[in-house]
Amino acid sequence: MWKDQEASVCAPSLTDYEYAECFNAFKQACSEWGSMEQWLSEDFLARRSWAGPLDVLSVGSGTGDFDLKIMRHLINRWRVNAYVAVDPNAAHNQVFMNKFEESGLNVQGFQLLAQTFPCDGLSRKFDFVLLTHCLYYIPNRVQAIQAAVESLKDEGYLIIFHQTPLGVNEIQRRFLKQAKGHMDEMFSSRDVYRLLKELSLPFTFEIVDGILNVSDCLVPDSPKGKKLINFFLECRADCLPEEFRGRALDFIQELAFEDGGHPVIFHPVGVFCVRKNR
């Protein structure tokens, strides 16, 4: 019988381009992005009374789809003085830049930094700092959170979007170490909660709904399904032994339930809001 603690079977890592493709497949299959946007627009931004103009920092900007929506919500109420996006993935950044240039959005001071966070080149303070699903990939998470808080203006806000222990995290807890050889990126909202407590930072915590359509994963040889599995396991999963991949698919099917005629799994998002006091 297969044991979860057996030696790893290690598949090759994804290139920046491959990861960007897999991430895009995941975004298309998951409703969390719409829920995150709704929370930002209706629960967070709607309650702010900033005088403006605003300075905004977005860490983990990816291909920019979410950031472009944030920009639209912001410029409906405020003038944006600077919008700085940080992501080390070169393939993501190129897509983001192209989309921004095509959007025609009147966002002054847009800057895209291809760096890890914390990073150089941040000479200003920000009204609003956003960490979007990025703390998994930052080795020193304490340093990152402290740097984000330190970059805030007085009365500024840090928002952290992070996966909960449900959904993709369940799959990764079961299979990631064997597939990838380590679990360095395993980090859920429980861990973020613990770190914020240890840092004695005042924060609120909420959970927003998310549903992940896994129907493509369960279709043999589905190109989109393969990208989703690669994203879950953060490697070239097609290079893993067939038995291992079969067990991962069986586990996904166990987690799934039917919604609108499709197999889906719960994938909610944890939202942390930290306010920097004077």
Find the CATH number of the domain harbouring 129.
3.40.50.150
List the structure tokens of 267: 């994938």
Place 16 in a pLDDT band, splitting at 50, 70 and 90.
Answer: confident
Quick one: pLDDT at residue 186? 87
Tell me whether residue 6 is in a domain: no
Cβ contact 62:137 at 8 Å: no
Instruction: Report how far residue 154's alpha carbon sits from residue 14's, in angstroms, rounded to the nearest whole number.
Output: 40
Tell me whether residue 222 is in a domain: no
**How many domains, the chain?**
1
Tell me whether residue 252 is in a domain: no
The fraction of the chain above a pLDDT of 90, given in percent, is 80
Instruction: Report how far residue 72's alpha carbon sits from residue 69's, in angstroms, rounded to the nearest whole number.
Output: 5
Cβ contact 278:156 at 8 Å: no
Instruction: Report how far residue 198's alpha carbon sits from residue 201's, in angstroms, rounded to the nearest whole number.
Output: 8
In the three-class reduction of DSSP (H, G, I as helix; E, B as strand; rest coil), residue 222 is classed as coil
Tell me whether residue 77 is in a domain: yes
Task: Taking residues 251-278, report their average pLDDT.
Answer: 94
Tell me whether residue 254 is in a domain: no
Tell me whether residue 188 is in a domain: yes
Range of the domain at 35: 16-165+179-213+266-275
Tell me whether residue 120 is in a domain: yes
Tell me the per-residue pLDDT of 45-104, one tens digit each, with 9 for 90 and over. 999 999 889 999 999 999 999 999 999 999 999 999 999 999 998 888 999 999 999 999
Radius of gyration of the chain (CA): 19
Tell me whether residue 240 is in a domain: no
